[in-house]
Structure formats: structure tokens, C-alpha cells
Amino acid sequence: MTTLKIGTRGSPLALAQAYETRKRLMDTHGLEEELIEIKVISTEGDRIQDKALRDFGGKGLFTKEIEEALLDGSIDLAVHSMKDVQTQLIDELRITAHLPREDVRDGFISRDVSHIDQLPEGAVVGTSSLRRQAQVKKRRPDLDVVTFRGSVQTRLEKLERGDVAATFLAVAGLKRLGLTNELTTAIETDVMLPAVAQGAIGIECRTGDERVESLVSDLNDRETEICVTAERAFLRKLDGSCRTPIAALAEIKGDKIHFRGEILAHNGERSFFESREDSIEKATEIGIESAESLITKAGAEFMASLVE
């Protein structure tokens, strides 16, 4: 008899995250593996492989079908990469737990050089992330940055074929897949600030489903929750989407939360940065205030240009 049904995308990374969630549920509550079913759900984002997702609706493309399965009772909980989750959830659904966050850094992967600064002029670099595209162009405007979609394994295959000279993947994903041997260099966050909620896994449940929420809430990592809350408040205030190059990272240091945020022009020629610190109780406020400061610094014309 199945006790819980976990909904997930079918990529190797998504499945690794679902397996981690199942293992934590088993260890925390003494459940047998056969009582927790993992149900793969195809999302529109997975089916669109040859076009930029920003042209089809952005973040919700990776969660819509899974959330529909939650709402109709086909599954009991959903496991998401938090960077794929929309900043506004409907009242019927909530993120009940955040698993301990993995390495937040971006990984540089190349078979020829060990650092982006060593790439020859005009080299082709592949990434599907507008944030990474803008950050690369800011640092190396001479490089040819192309859209590069697919699973981690697909992107590595394209790199091996020589389609590009280098690419970027989240270090967290490589670690969860046991592929850190593919990593050339982990890029420090003061060089490339990561995406909002990068490296964080969220577990989504139906609001008011006391049985499931009681099981899942025990998995919550409070530090990850606080940091992701700050970053998502920042993104929400900026009205960030897949069309917007936005980076942010919140870190807890002692009893303080340290926040860094950045917005960039698509071509990397202009960027605005904000850094501030406050008490951990003000996670939402620090995200919102950082966004408001950046909006003022950048000006209405720049902000409008990000969504054109």
C-alpha cells in the first residue's frame, strides 16, 4: 500500500532530488521504500527542447502540470528546484519544506581552459540562462554566447561534440548527479552571483493537508528557508521572470542575514548591485528593500528594457 506519492519531472536531476526527498522521509519517519511512490510527470518545459523557454511563459513551464496533479490528488507532494518555482503560489498550494541547500555556485565547464578569462576571443559559450548570458557578456563582451538547452547530460554531450568551447552548470546539480568530475572550476559568488534559490530543493503540498504536511514539515531546513525567502522576495518585487537577468544570494552569518542582489542588461553592458545586512527575522524585508533600492538606482527606463 502506497502511503505517499511524490510528483517530479523526469530528468535525471529531478529524479535525484525526488530520491533524496524519499530517503529523508524514510529516515525521518521510519517508512519503507515501497510505501513512497515516485511519479514522473512530463511538463511543458521538458517537452520544449529547441526553443528559449522565455518565449513560452518562463518558470511555470516546469511546475504547472505537477501542481495540477497536486490539486487533483494524483500526487501528495511535489519536489521542485526552487529556482524553477514561481514567486506567487495559489492559496491552495504551499512550499512546506526546504531541504538543506547544496553548493550555490555556478560551475564553469570546458575541455580546453580552466577559467572564463582564458577563453580565446570570439569563443562560443553555451547557456540557457539569461542571467549567465548577461554575466558572461559583462565580463567577456568578446565571447559569442548562444542558447544551450537540455538536461545536464545533454549539455555535456554537446560540449564533448565541440558545439561550444564552454558552458555553465550549477555545482549543486553536478554534485547531486555524482558528476563533479565534469566540473572544471567552481566560480566564486563574488565573480558570478547565482540565480535566486540556486541549489535549493522545495517540497510543495496542498494547503491544509495535515497528514502530508506533518510528514513533510519535519524535513524543513530553517536556514535554507530563511535565505530562499529573502531571495524570492527580491525576485518577486522586481517582477523577475525568465526574461530578466537577475541574481541574488542570501547567507546567514551569526544572527544576521547578508544579502547581495544584481540586475543586468541583457548585453551585460550595464548592471546594478546591492548589498545589505539585517537580522534573520527580516528575511522578506531585506529582499524587498534590496529590490526597491536597485529599482531606484537603475531607473524606470532600464527596468522597462529588461522585459521588452
Residue type, 180: T
Same domain, 110 and 30: no
Q: Could you report how far apart the first and last alpha carbons of the chain are, in Å?
A: 51
pLDDT given for residue 99 in this prediction: 98
> 125-134 pLDDT, tens per residue?
999 899 999 9
> What integer best gives the mean pLDDT of the chain?
91
Residue 278 lies in a domain: yes
Residue count of the chain, please give it: 308
pLDDT digits (tens, 9 = 90+) for 135-172: 999 999 999 999 887 778 888 898 999 999 999 999 99
Nearest by Cα to 238 from 280, 202, 274: 274
Question: Is residue 78 located within the same domain as residue 134?
Answer: no
Q: What residues act catalytically?
A: 84
Residue 175: what pLDDT? Answer: 96
Q: Are residues 175 and 239 in the same domain?
A: no
Residue 170 and residue 195: Cα distance in Å, rounded? 9
Tens of pLDDT, residues 182-241: 999 999 999 999 999 999 999 999 999 999 999 999 999 999 999 999 999 999 999 755
Residues 277 and 299 both lie in one domain: yes
Range of the domain at 215: 4-99+200-220
- How far, in Å, are 182, 217, 229 from residue 193 at the CA level? 21, 29, 17
C-alpha cell at 34: 515501497
Within a domain: residue 255? yes
Q: Are residues 132 and 14 in the same domain?
A: no
- Kindly report, residue by residue over 250-272, the tens digit of the pLDDT: 999 999 999 999 999 999 999 99
| Strand-strand pairing, 144-146 and 106-110 | unpaired
DSSP secondary structure, 218-280, as one string: TT--HHHHHHHHHHHHHHHHHT--TTS-EEEEEEEETTEEEEEEEEE-TTSS-EEEEEEEEEG
